[in-house]
Structure formats: C-alpha cells, structure tokens
Structure 1
Amino acid sequence: MLGGVGAITRYLERVMAQARYDLLGPGRYVGELPEQGLRVEASHLEAAREALREALEAWLLEALRSGVVPSGLEGEGDPVRARFFALAGEMWRLAQEASGAARLARGQEGPKRKPASLEEWLQGLGLQLVRRPQPEDEEKEKVLTRLALFLGDRYPSLEKLYERLKQSLSTKRQFELSLAEASQDEIANSTQFCTMLKQYALLTSYHYKSEDRRLRAKASTEGWVQNFLTGGWLERYVAERLRKFLRSKNLPHEVAVGYQVALPGGEAMELDVLARVGERVYWFEAKTGEFQAHIAKYAGLKKVLGLSQKESFLVLLGMDKARAKELSALHGLTVVNQANFLEVFQEALEGNGP
C-alpha cells in the first residue's frame, strides 16, 4: 500500500518539474502550472515555489476526494499501485452513495458526478457536439483578449463610443463622436481604445481632432472583426475574467468558449462560455444588444443542460441591477452585467458547496 503513497510523491515532483516562474517586478514572482490551472504570486522565488507546491497538493487532494485520478497518476504497470487507487476510488464512490441516499431520504437532490472534461459532460447529457472550440493563433489571441479586457473593464467611460461603433458596423460607414462634454476619463479611454483598434487594423481609419474634441473612425469590414466588435469581445471578456479569478483561488477548472451542440429536437445552439469548477459546471451567455427574443430559449436550454438558476448566467452589457434582478426572477436565470457577474458567480460558487 505504501507504493501508492510513493507514487503520489513522485507525481508531485514530476509535475513541479514542469512549473514556470517569472519575475513580474521588484518583489513580485509568479509561479504557474498551466495544465492544472494553478498560478501563485510571492515576494521571492523560493516562496513562489513553496506556494505553488502547496496549491498543487490542495488541487490533487480535491481531485482524489472527488474520485478523479489525474493523468500520470494511474496504476498502469504496477498492480500494487493500481489496487491502491482502485480501493481509494471505491471507498469514495461508496461514501458518495451513502451521502446521496441520505440526501434523497431528506428530499434533497443527490450529488453530481464530477466530469473529467466539459466535452465529456456535454456528451453525458446526450448532446451531439457540432463544433468544438478551436485554438486561434497565439499572438492573435493575446491581442483580442487585451482589447476585450480594455473595453470590458472601462465600459462605463466607453459606452458612447461603443454604441456609435456598433451602429456604424451595420452601415459599414465612417462614424463621428463628439467628446466636447465628455469627462477626462471618457476622452482618454476613447482615444486610447481607438488607437489600439487602429494599431491592430480593426479600424481602417481613425482621427481625433483635439481642438473640438471630435473623433472620426471606420471599422474594418472583415468578418472576424465584425464578429468580435459586435459581441465576441464580451464572451472573451467573461471567459478571461473567469480564468483569472479561478486561478487566483487555486481552484481546478476548465473554461471554454464556443461549443456548439445539437439539441434533442435537432436545433443547433452555441454555448458562449462554459466553466467547470470541481464537480460543478456553470454556463454563461453574453449579449451586447437585444436579448428579449433569446431569453425564453436560454431558459429552456438551462433545463436541457440540467443546470440550476445559480449555475446559469445571462451577462447583459450595461444592464441595470434592479432590472436584472427582476429578469432573473421571471425567467429562472441569473441575469447580471459585465461589471458584477464575477461577484455574483463567486457568491454562487461559495453557496453551492456539497
């Protein structure tokens, strides 16, 4: 039986050998294990290494408690090791069944089995995968993520610019925006964002006249640019903010954008963002414009996915919190805006423990 314990020690050492460390600035070291979704910061290199080791041990403990043996820790070729993990998995399964029976006796829902991946979870629901998330060019990904974070984090001061930009996308014509009565934040953020868009050719033209505080610009007509600016950026923003938050909490997770599935009736539906955290799956739809024609469909899809209201989010750009609360109650979804979705998600995460 000690062979199994030794296998765990060797597994930790092997994974730690793959860790990446970077110096972010004076007294700021970061340690990462991307495959496990772990990231820590510390004041010096040795502290970062120790913190990352502790985070990995906590991650492994949680995985084993949930009955999942991480890749590389299986018992192939070693009967003692295989028996160790088989017995551990069986003990955990029996404990879950006992807990589930107790819950059912009290009229509560039994625990959900932790999926090995989001793809396995979707297939377990009997849904046909029409399209899977495809990796983009790494440099392109970095640029688009940077733009999405800039817009999402500063949206209140960029709202007027964004609305004019969206209007012009449908006409494919140059647009103008007067910043004569705008605050300094609005002016600075609007001109900086347009400069970034022009730098990466998402705008084909841009000019700001400081004398009368008026800017003129024209967006590219390329399809991927149109898709990004009309709504793709918000999906990316939600996904990236989720990843950063979950990494900061050292929680095992998987976040994916753009799974397309065929529903039981044959209708194809794209899932904007899916997040798996431990044994829970959360679903996020992101809309930058009209949502009324879609909300009933989302409420129905929530049932197909077998998710609760606390696991189903509709992120509406600029949505008023009071109205969001009313929409949540009416449609059985958690309606939020781009500024507070992470806070509400954290509350759901902490309140959904076993």
Structure 2
Amino acid sequence: MALLRCNKCGHVAEVSADQIGTSTPCPACGNHVPVYDTVLFVRKVLQQYFALQDEVKQLRAGSAPTDVAAMPAPATAGIDFHNTEHLTSEAWHAEIVAWFQRRQIQVRTSPDAVNTTGFFDEFAVEIGDNYPLLGDVVGKIRWAQQKDVPSFSLKLGDLSQKDGQAINAFCKRLYEHTFLSKYFYQKQDKLGRATIQSAPAIRSFFAGDWLEWYALMKLLAFFQARQKAFSCTRNLSVTFPNEDLHELDVFFLVEGNTPVCVECKTGEFRQDIDKYLRLRKRLGIDRSQFILCCLGLGDEQAAGLSSMYELSFVSPTGLQGHLAKLF
C-alpha cells in the first residue's frame, strides 16, 4: 500500500504501491508530491503523535518537556547493521529518493549493495581498521586478479611472530568464508599459499568495493551511536535532467534533510578532482559533506587538499573524526 499527502492543500489519497518513492500530481490541486509507503508513513506519524502526547502530559503536570538527549533512541538503535536486510527495503530508501526528486534528479537504488547478511561488511571493517598489517594481503590478491595469476604466496617468516600469526589467521578466515578458493600454511617454511577466488563479487570486493563497505559501516556505526535518524544507500545511480549519469559510492540522508556523500578511492584520485567538484556543485551539497575517502592519504595531506579544493579529503581512519566535526 502507498499514499500521498499534499503539503499545499492537505489532500490525502491512497495510490498504487508501485509508485512508492516517486513524485506524482496531487489529485486535488495538481501540486507534485512524493508517494510514501503507507506503513512507514503511519509509523512516522505515530512517532510524532506520541512525542507530542508525552509533551502535553508533561506540560499539564507542570514540568518541562523531556530533553532531546534523553528521548528514546531512533528505530535504528536495536538493529545489528552487520547482519540485516533492513537497509534493502524501498521504505528505507524512500526519503533519499524523494530528496533527489525534489532536485529534479532521478535515482536508481542498488538494494544488494547494502545487504549485510553476507560477510563483505565484516571483512571490510577488519581490513580498514588494520590496513597497515593486512594491506599487503589485499594488494597481493588484487595483483593476482589483475594479472590473471591464480595463486600467490606470503613469506610470513619475514614478519614478527605476532604479525605472522595475525596474517595467517586472517587468510584462514578468508578461505573459510570463500574469499579465497584455497589456503594452506607450510609451518616448516613459514609460508602461506593461497589461490584466489574468481567469483565476480569477490573480485569487485578486492578491486575497491571493500573501502565502500568500510565507509558504509563506519557511518552506520557513527550515526547509530549518536542516535541520529538517517537513511542510507550504496552504489546509487543518479541521472541529471540533461541525462548525465553518475554513481555515488555511499550516500546518507541524516534527519531527512542533511546529505553526506562519500566517494571512495583505493587508487589514483588526482585526475578525478575536477569531476567531483562539478558533481558536488550539481548536487548542491556543502563541501564539508562531500567527502573523498582516499586510501594511503595521510592526515596532514588530507587537510592540505581540503583547504585547496572545495571538497573534504580524509583517510579511511579519519572518516569518523571528520563526521564528529559535522554532527
């Protein structure tokens, strides 16, 4: 079920469910209005109703309204974002779709890109949080994929005992969760031997998708911890009125009206700076909220680039610190 409510004349009408997330003329006055999933719309209305009801009770009792910080956490508070299909629903994306449509921009979501019931998100966070240690493994897998070399080896004996054990354990987990086709450790030679996985999803993950997953999960954790209402998506296709097509790596809409766009680069990014500058301006997003998350970028270099261009540059580990300045 779906419905529309016109902000101009107040008309409410039930419409076809296949119109959810689109904009349609009001039957009464012709004003273009967004179409909402009925359950989502009613849930939000009830949340506002009960909040006002509590405020009225407090005022009648002679007390001040409850402080915002003490109010119940938003609906996302109880969700385990590392294992959910919650982010794949049309209702979850509805506010984002409406935000773009108000700017005359058409969008196409990719629900599978935010389905965390698999293991991409967990490994992405492990890689991003421990890249100085695990980056060599990721690099060897990526090199083998690019060169169509089926296998590679790791000389763990060249590392400290602690680091060698950690990398060996990481590769074993990659194998157990099918990110590698084969892996075995030659204890006597302290040598790890691995065979790459040829499945397209795994190839894309090591080609750079892992950083997008990392950014997604870090933003989810950040906004959930701060009890912010939000919706989000990944791999969002946007089409401008002149039919220019772009894909946004990670996009969040915070409290219904504050966009945060994160573009992720595991390789060279310098030749794309002008492209991102133009894209940011076309989207109408503040420079502080349009973020280039670049692998290998130091904090000092990121700060320097941010002052040179009307964009925000961060390293993966500096992503949440930047968000803390905004929210």
Q: TM-score, normalised by structure 1?
A: 0.64
Corresponding residue for residue 163 of structure 1: 139
Distance change >3 Å, CA 295–CA 5, structure 1 → 2:
closer
SS of 1:175's equivalent in the other structure is strand
- CA-CA distance at 1:323 after TM superposition: 1.6
Structure 1 stretch displaced more, 152-161 or 264-273: 264-273
Aligned partners of 1:315 and 1:336 also within 8 Å: yes
SS of 2:285's equivalent in the other structure is coil
Aligned partners of 2:113 and 2:235 also within 8 Å: no
Corresponding residue for residue 19 of structure 1: none
What is the CA–CA distance in structure 1 between the aligned matches of 2:306 and 2:48, rounded to whole Å?
48
> Do residues 8 (structure 1) and 49 (structure 2) align?
yes
- CA-CA distance at 1:260 after TM superposition: 0.6
Corresponding residue for residue 289 of structure 1: 267
1:235-250 matches, within 5 Å, as 235-250=212-227
SS of 1:266's equivalent in the other structure is coil
Corresponding residue for residue 314 of structure 1: 292
Aligned partners of 1:177 and 1:214 also within 8 Å: yes
> Do residues 298 (structure 1) and 310 (structure 2) align?
no
Q: 1:146 aligns with which of 105, 119, 122?
A: 122
SS of 1:313's equivalent in the other structure is strand
- CA-CA distance at 1:5 after TM superposition: 11
- CA-CA distance at 1:330 after TM superposition: 2.5
Distance change >3 Å, CA 265–CA 328, structure 1 → 2:
farther
What is the CA–CA distance in structure 2 between the aligned matches of 1:194 and 1:311, rounded to whole Å?
36
SS of 1:176's equivalent in the other structure is strand
1:309 is aligned with what amino acid?
R
Distance change >3 Å, CA 277–CA 120, structure 1 → 2:
same
1:160 is aligned with what amino acid?
D
What is the CA–CA distance in structure 2 between the aligned matches of 1:122 and 1:6, rounded to whole Å?
25
Percent sequence identity over aligned pairs: 25
What is the CA–CA distance in structure 2 between the aligned matches of 1:311 and 1:348, rounded to whole Å?
8
1:1-354 matches, within 5 Å, as 8-9=49-50, 36-39=75-78, 117-129=95-107, 131-135=108-112, 141-173=117-149, 174-278=151-255, 279-349=257-327
- CA-CA distance at 1:264 after TM superposition: 4.2
SS of 1:303's equivalent in the other structure is helix
What is the CA–CA distance in structure 2 between the aligned matches of 1:321 and 1:5, rounded to whole Å?
44
- CA-CA distance at 1:137 after TM superposition: 9.7
- CA-CA distance at 1:261 after TM superposition: 0.9
What is the CA–CA distance in structure 2 between the aligned matches of 1:6 and 1:149, rounded to whole Å?
33
- CA-CA distance at 1:265 after TM superposition: 4.1
1:323 is aligned with what amino acid?
Q
For residues 146-205 of structure 1, give each alpha carbon's deviation from its aligned partner in whole angstroms, at most 9, with x where no partner exists. 111211121111122221121111012112222233234432332222112211222112
What is the CA–CA distance in structure 2 between the aligned matches of 1:142 and 1:238, rounded to whole Å?
17
SS of 1:254's equivalent in the other structure is strand
Aligned partners of 2:114 and 2:234 also within 8 Å: no
Aligned partners of 1:38 and 1:251 also within 8 Å: no
What is the CA–CA distance in structure 2 between the aligned matches of 1:6 and 1:347, rounded to whole Å?
29
What is the CA–CA distance in structure 2 between the aligned matches of 1:310 and 1:328, rounded to whole Å?
9
1:38 is aligned with what amino acid?
A
- CA-CA distance at 1:336 after TM superposition: 0.6
SS of 1:38's equivalent in the other structure is helix
Distance change >3 Å, CA 33–CA 228, structure 1 → 2:
farther
For residues 202-236 of structure 1, give each alpha carbon's deviation from its aligned partner in whole angstroms, at most 9, with x where no partner exists. 21121222333322212211211111111111111
- CA-CA distance at 1:347 after TM superposition: 0.7
- CA-CA distance at 1:292 after TM superposition: 2.1
Aligned partners of 1:258 and 1:272 also within 8 Å: yes
What is the CA–CA distance in structure 2 between the aligned matches of 1:289 and 1:185, rounded to whole Å?
29
What is the CA–CA distance in structure 1 between the aligned matches of 2:302 and 2:209, rounded to whole Å?
21
Aligned partners of 1:158 and 1:186 also within 8 Å: no
Distance change >3 Å, CA 332–CA 135, structure 1 → 2:
same
What is the CA–CA distance in structure 2 between the aligned matches of 1:163 and 1:6, rounded to whole Å?
48
Distance change >3 Å, CA 275–CA 158, structure 1 → 2:
same
Aligned partners of 1:274 and 1:281 also within 8 Å: yes
- CA-CA distance at 1:33 after TM superposition: 7.5
What is the CA–CA distance in structure 1 between the aligned matches of 2:47 and 2:244, rounded to whole Å?
50
SS of 2:271's equivalent in the other structure is coil
Structure 2: where are the runs of 5+ without partners?
Answer: 1-44, 55-71, 80-90
SS of 2:227's equivalent in the other structure is coil
